[in-house]
Structure 1
Amino acid sequence: MAREEAEQGGWGAGSVVALLVVAMLLLLLPLGMAPGPVQPPSFSLLFVFPLFLAAILFFLFLASQTD
């Protein structure tokens, strides 16, 4: 991909890092918000966040393609 194309759109290293930071915040911040002991999320619930983020990433990938 040419530099001009990369500047107009696409996922760079910063975008990937930002996505991973948001995913980690979504998973870890709720654990520290309760006043008492917190139960860990169920195993199936742990798969909901990455699947949701992957679906958003896939949608953005398809929406950014030009014909």
Structure 2
Amino acid sequence: MACTVEIHKGSQVIIVDGVSFNAPFNESSIESGHPHGPVFSNGAAKAVISEADAAMLIAAGVIDRR
């Protein structure tokens, strides 16, 4: 599971465990299918995140596909 998730709304950057995703938030999604929690997905990159981080990302504009 990812340890840190940062959201920078002004610059449209999401940082997951030090990896930056610089794209419109609606190009990323939260998916289901992993037994340990929701999955942040951006292109081929995927990371299991906490429910709290998923809720923050969805509130920022990431698509909820669960």
- Bigger radius of gyration, 1 or 2? 1
TM-score, with structure 1 as normaliser? 0.25
TM-score, with structure 2 as normaliser? 0.25
Q: Which has the higher helix share?
A: 1
Q: Which has the higher strand share?
A: 2
Q: Which has the higher contact order (CA 8 A, sep 6+)?
A: 1
